[in-house]
Amino acid sequence: MTEEAIVEEQEEVLARTVGAVMRSAVVTVDVGETVLVAWELLERSGCRHLPVVRPDGRCAGLLERADVAVACGAPAVSLSEARVDELLRGHGPVLVHVEQTVRHAVDMMTYTGADALPVLAEDGHLAGVLTAADIVAALAGHPVREEPADRRPQAGTVLPGLPPRRGYRGTAFP
């Protein structure tokens, strides 16, 4: 493949809509849940990002695994009272819409230093998450990866029967 053909293929991917590249099967957490529930959802799902949703389904922000892990370093007594919305304070959510281009999302990610963005549907509700890995996979020609629907926890719930992620050999709590 010539260099010109590669550049043309990359431009085609960057011109796609975010909705065509993003991952729509995401685990979410309710804005009023505890930090421990957020950690449990991250651990059991194996995700690196956790969208936070309001009761009306609108996105309040995106938590990163590292932020939740740092918060979990607090004494256990305070963790049972710490809420997810406390981790979002001071972070205005950087969002993209499903109809915007991947190029726009890349520009937003570059400008903000984010490696993932919540994606909103036309009605303002969370439609999915676009990660840097999703963009790289699209540039490499890989299809959008989705988790089976029966493996996805619903917002704000902890499912005791949800198996740990594959290859996990540790404890679920820090």
| DSSP assignment of 28-68 | -EETTSBHHHHHHHHHHHT-SEEEEE-TTSBEEEEEEHHHH
Of 41-45, 82-86, 111-115, 164-168, the least confident: 164-168
**CA–CA separation, 10 vs 127, rounded Å?**
24
Position 77 scores a pLDDT of 62
- Provide the 3-class DSSP secondary structure of residue 117: strand
Indicate whether 70 pLDDT > 70: yes
| 102 pLDDT tier (thresholds 50, 70, 90) | very high
**CA–CA separation, 164 vs 90, rounded Å?**
32
Strand partners, 117: 130
Amino acid in position 131: T
Indicate whether 174 pLDDT > 60: no
DSSP type of residue 124: S
Q: Are 22 and 98 in contact (CB under 8 A)?
A: yes
| 157 pLDDT tier (thresholds 50, 70, 90) | very low
- The predicted model gives 12-41 an average pLDDT of 89
Indicate whether 135 pLDDT > 60: yes
Position 26 scores a pLDDT of 85
**CA–CA separation, 9 vs 2, rounded Å?**
11
| pTM, rounded to two decimals | 0.76
Position 52 scores a pLDDT of 93
Q: How far are the Cα atoms of 1, 26, 40, 69, 161 from residue 35, in angstroms, in the given order?
A: 49, 18, 9, 9, 20
Tell me the angle at which helices 3-15 and 132-139 cross, rounded to the nearest 10 degrees: 140
Percent with pLDDT over 70 in the chain = 78
Indicate whether 173 pLDDT > 70: no
